[in-house]
């Protein structure tokens, strides 16, 4: 037993979640989002599991090159980032799609495409105001790029700001903005839908969809009737100590938890240095031997105190599930004032990783 904290990734769950996407978007191609080490699940392992997708979206050039060096021949989309002449030449050489998201990137991509061909995704800022061209500049860039013979494919794309609510006025305004801009060149392919949009708004399922978090088993909308996703990651850690406390005794730094009854506390061998959120407060659930315990006291660098008074028999060496199929990461995230995306991507390298087909 060389480690006390470990992640198990079930690749079959990821493949089944991709099948859910296929069922929802029968007429769309799927650009599976595997940026940030596949949301912490493992870039190459996940890409191989998702071999039936139509492409992979990443956020950094080195991620795209890692896929190519591993023999991945799918379409690869490099999302909006800094691209100089050398980086664009690399994208041309390795057949990596690029994103034009501002006037500088448009000019550089147009220049590069005259020498070496590129597939280009032109991003509209329809209301997110993060990256993307405003409507007038988007139309001008479309005219420039669509007339460039080195641009072998042009995709119109945007991103929605209302990730957790697909019914807002802001969402409708973004859809209208995209429709008006795309109408100036309807020959271009389209890509609008992330996970939330492709679940809740069928009209966003364009030529390409870009699922992310749902591939890993989390529904960004919380619950959708008839939609079943399978969590792929289980973060677990071993119980390294158990102690009994009398009423009025405290646990952890700054005495943030004090027992209101005779209590049994398990010390779990994972902490914020392993990626467990330090801000997970008292009452955050953990799963031990078929029962829910709850975090007691401040999360430490290497350990977590968990109240197991009502958990039945628990022994040193037993496994505590910190999130996974038994305990959704979104529920833990709610207690830590964060989101499951942040939990998944924060798991550190010192955690042992295991992959199951």
For residue 89, pLDDT beyond 70: yes
CA distance 292 to 266: 12
For residue 167, pLDDT beyond 80: no
Contact partners, residue 342, CB within 8 Å, separation at least 6: 277, 333
> In the structure, what pLDDT confidence band is assigned to residue 338 with cuts at 50, 70 and 90?
very high
Closest CA to 7 of 357, 299, 290, 344: 344
For residue 262, give the 3-state DSSP assignment. coil
Q: Mean pLDDT score of the chain, rounded to an integer?
A: 96
355 is catalytic: no
For residue 163, pLDDT beyond 90: no
26 is catalytic: no
For residue 88, give the 3-state DSSP assignment. helix
**Catalytic residue, candidates 123, 216, 253, 355:** 253
The token pair that represents 86 in the structure block: 């050398």
pLDDT for the residue 245? 97
**Catalytic residue, candidates 35, 123, 216, 276:** 35
Per cent of the chain over pLDDT 90 is 94
Residue 64 phi, psi dihedral angles, 5° rounding: -65, -40
> In the structure, what pLDDT confidence band is assigned to residue 182 with cuts at 50, 70 and 90?
very high
pLDDT (average), residues 191-203: 94
258-297 pLDDT per residue, tens? 999 999 999 999 999 999 999 999 999 999 999 999 999 9
CA distances from 125 to 3, 38, 135, 156 (A): 46, 25, 7, 11
CA distance 245 to 226: 45
Domains (ranges, CATH) in the chain? Answer: 11-216 (3.20.20.10), 233-356 (2.40.37.10)
> In the structure, what pLDDT confidence band is assigned to residue 1 with cuts at 50, 70 and 90?
low
Residue 2, class by beta-carbon neighbours within 10 Å (0-12 exposed, 13-18 middle, 19+ buried)? exposed
Among the ranges given (47-51, 128-132, 165-169, 185-189), the one the predictor scored with the smallest mean pLDDT = 165-169
Sign of the C-alpha dihedral, residues 242, 244, 247, 251? Answer: negative
Residue 85, class by beta-carbon neighbours within 10 Å (0-12 exposed, 13-18 middle, 19+ buried)? exposed
If one counts every other C-beta atom within 10 angstroms of the C-beta of residue 139, the result is 19
For residue 165, pLDDT beyond 80: no
Contact 12, 26 (CB under 8 A): no
| pTM for the full predicted model | 0.95
Residue 348 phi, psi dihedral angles, 5° rounding: -90, 170
Per cent of the chain over pLDDT 70 is 99
């Amino acid at each position: 037993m060389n480690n006390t904290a470990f992640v198990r990734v079930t690749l079959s769950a990821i493949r089944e979640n991709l099948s859910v996407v296929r069922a929802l978007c029968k007429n769309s191609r799927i650009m599976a989002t595997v940026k940030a080490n596949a949301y912490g699940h493992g870039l190459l392992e996940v890409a191989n599991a998702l071999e039936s997708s139509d492409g992979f979206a990443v956020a950094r050039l080195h991620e795209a090159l890692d896929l190519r060096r591993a023999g991945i021949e799918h379409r690869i989309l490099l999302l909006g980032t800094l691209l100089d002449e050398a980086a664009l030449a690399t994208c041309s050489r390795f057949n990596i799609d690029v994103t034009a998201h501002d006037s500088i990137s448009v000019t550089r991509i147009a220049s590069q495409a005259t020498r070496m061909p590129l597939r280009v995704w032109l991003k509209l800022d329809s209301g997110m105001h993060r990256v993307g061209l405003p409507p007038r500049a988007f139309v001008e860039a479309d005219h420039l790029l669509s007339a460039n013979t080195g641009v072998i494919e042009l995709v119109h794309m945007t991103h929605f700001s209302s990730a957790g609510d697909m019914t807002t006025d802001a969402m409708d305004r973004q859809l209208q903005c995209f429709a008006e801009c795309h109408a100036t060149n309807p020959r271009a392919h389209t890509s609008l839908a992330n996970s939330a949009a492709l679940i809740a708004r069928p009209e966003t399922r364009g030529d390409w969809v870009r699922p992310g978090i749902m591939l890993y088993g989390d529904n960004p909308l919380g619950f959708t009737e008839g939609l079943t996703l399978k969590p792929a990651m289980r973060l677990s850690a071993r119980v390294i100590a158990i102690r009994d406390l009398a009423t009025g005794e405290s646990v952890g730094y700054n005495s943030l938890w004090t027992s209101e009854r005779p209590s049994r506390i398990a010390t779990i061998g994972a902490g914020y240095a392993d990626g467990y959120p330090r801000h997970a407060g008292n009452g955050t659930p953990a799963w031990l031997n078929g029962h829910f315990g709850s975090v007691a006291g401040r999360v430490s660098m290497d350990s977590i105190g968990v109240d197991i008074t009502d958990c039945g028999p628990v022994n040193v060496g037993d496994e505590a599930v910190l999130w996974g199929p038994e305990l959704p990461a979104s529920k833990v995230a709610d207690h830590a004032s964060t989101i499951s995306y942040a939990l998944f991507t924060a798991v550190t390298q010192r955690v042992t990783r295991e992959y199951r087909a």
